[in-house]
Amino acid sequence: GSSLEPEEHSMEPPAAPEEEMALTAAPGPAGRQLFGYVGIEAVLDQMKIKTMKTGFEFNIMVVGQSGLGKSTMVNTLFKSKVSRKASQPGQEERIPKTVQLQSITHVIEEKGVKMKLTVTDTPGFGDQINNENCWVPIIKYINEQYERYLREEILITRKRKIPDTRVHGCVYFVPPTGHWLRPLDLEFMRRLSKIVNVVPVIAKADTLTLEERAEFKQRIQEDLKTHAISVYPQEDFDQDPDDRALNDRIREKIPFAVVGADQEHQVNGKRVLGRKTKWGIIEVENPAHCEFPLLRDLLIRSHLQDLKDITHNVHYESYRVRRLNESNRP
């Protein structure tokens, strides 16, 4: 039976349940705990599958005098014959009259991941008696790639994926003199560091003793700081404290003292890449012998995507702003 007493109606709205209050509350700084599995983490798998289908593009340039092992170093870096290297060069190929740029493209694959690799060599750089303005063809080539990308980008009907031929990293080979950086080295890195990511390395570091190597690296670091040359990884582009801590450790090691080799030798029952001498074998991938593993980790394993991001967001963006300002001037 129902009660005969009249019900008391309140003008205040009924209180919401506790569950609804929790769901409609303003989110705090921490992520909200879900009641069950939703599947948000599957986004990473979707991105991985899509990226593996489309593949990567990576463009690297090597600059240095002839005989410093640029082609061998690139072949060692990717463990494949990806650099153009003549077996018996002729007289014209041995001493080019001017700086010539040669690009070769390969598609290399590892565990289902495809990467379109373009290696640009600069034979003739620093080989002449008069090396005045020998960096001009290199700067022109890098800007041409920016211009090509810009023209594709400003089209009304542009491609879904613009072909990327921009240089993502420039490895500069310093001769192992054991003294200071030459004026040519300083001028090149000063000009090129403004438009591309420059990574200096000491070529053929097995010609230096450990003491000479450490002293030479310290002198190079002092030269770079004195002339305000910002090489990769740049301090201005560190995103968070973790990146800064990692890049600080890398900056302490720059320039990397590297040794390249494209032949395998037997060492303690294992096949290793190295250079065989009368007094032993210099193992390329042994950190105790040279710093090649640090260079490989920087260019491929830890900072490859960062090289591409800085190229697109910093160097290409500055070129794009400059070109658009020039076109808008009366």
pLDDT digits (tens, 9 = 90+) for 253-302: 999 999 988 888 888 888 888 888 888 888 888 888 889 999 999 999 88
Q: Picking from 9-23, 167-181, 309-323, which range would have the lowest pLDDT averaged per residue?
A: 9-23
CA distance 257 to 29: 45
Higher pLDDT, 131 or 23: 131
With bands split at pLDDT 50, 70 and 90, how would you rate the model's confidence at 97? low
Residue count (the chain)? 330
In a domain, residue 34? The reply is no
Domain that residue 231 falls in: 44-83+95-328
CATH of the domain at 164: 3.40.50.300
Place of tokens 């200071």: 180
Give which of 95, 42, 43 is closest to 66, Cα–Cα: 95
pLDDT of residue 25: 43
Q: How does pLDDT run across 76-92, given as a tens digit for each residue?
A: 888 788 776 554 455 44
252 vs 92: which has the higher pLDDT:
252
Structure tokens at 144: 């041409």
pLDDT recorded at residue 286:
85
Residue 35 lies in a domain: no
> Has residue 4 got a pLDDT over 80?
no
* Higher pLDDT, residue 154 or 97: 154
Q: Is residue 36 part of a domain?
A: no
d(CA 230, CA 289): 27
Query: How large is the average pLDDT for residues 66-80?
Result: 86
Q: What is the pLDDT of residues 128-175, one digit of tens each?
A: 888 888 899 999 999 999 999 999 998 888 888 899 999 999 999 999
pTM, rounded to two decimals: 0.82
Q: Which residues pair with 116 in a beta bridge?
A: 57, 107
Non-local (6+) Cβ contacts of 283 within 8 A are 267, 272, 273, 274, 289
Range in 64-73, 182-191, 311-320 with the lowest mean pLDDT: 64-73
User: In a 10 Å sphere around its CB, with 0-12 CB exposed, 13-18 middle and 19+ buried, how is residue 71 labelled?
Assistant: buried
Within a domain: residue 5?
no
- Residue 292 is assigned to a structural domain of this protein: yes
pLDDT of residue 60: 95
Q: Is the pLDDT of residue 94 over 80?
A: no
What is the pLDDT of the chain when averaged over all its residues?
A: 84
The per-residue DSSP string of 168-225 comes to -EEEEEEP--SSPPPHHHHHHHHHHTTTS-EEEEETTGGGS-HHHHHHHHHHHHHHHH
d(C-alpha 152, C-alpha 67), whole Å: 38
The helix (H) or strand (E) run that includes residue 121 is strand 113-121
Q: Percent of the chain at pLDDT above 90?
A: 39
Looking at per-residue confidence, does 289 or 99 come out higher? Answer: 289
- How distant is the alpha carbon of residue 182 from its chain centre? 25
Tell whether the model's pLDDT for residue 98 goes beyond 90. no
DSSP state of 311: I
DSSP-derived pairing of the beta strands 256-257 and 198-202: parallel
In a domain, 11, yes or no: no
Reduce the DSSP state of residue 105 to 3 states and report it: strand
The separation between CA 282 and the C-alpha centre of its own chain, rounded to angstroms, equals 26
Please check whether residue 18 lies inside any domain of the structure.
no
Does 110 reside within a domain? yes
Q: What is the pLDDT of residue 151?
A: 94
CB 139 within 8 A of CB 195: yes
Q: Give the pair of three-digit tokens for residue 210.
A: 């450990």
Distance CA 142, CA 48 (A): 30
CA distance 86 to 66: 13
Predicted confidence band of residue 10 (pLDDT cuts 50, 70, 90) = very low
C-alpha span between 225 and 176 (Å, rounded): 20
Going by pLDDT thresholds of 50, 70 and 90, the confidence category of residue 29 is: low
Q: How many domains are contained in the chain?
A: 1
Q: Is 172 exposed, middle or buried (0-12, 13-18, 19+ CB in 10 A)?
A: buried
What's the average model confidence in pLDDT over 49-75? 88
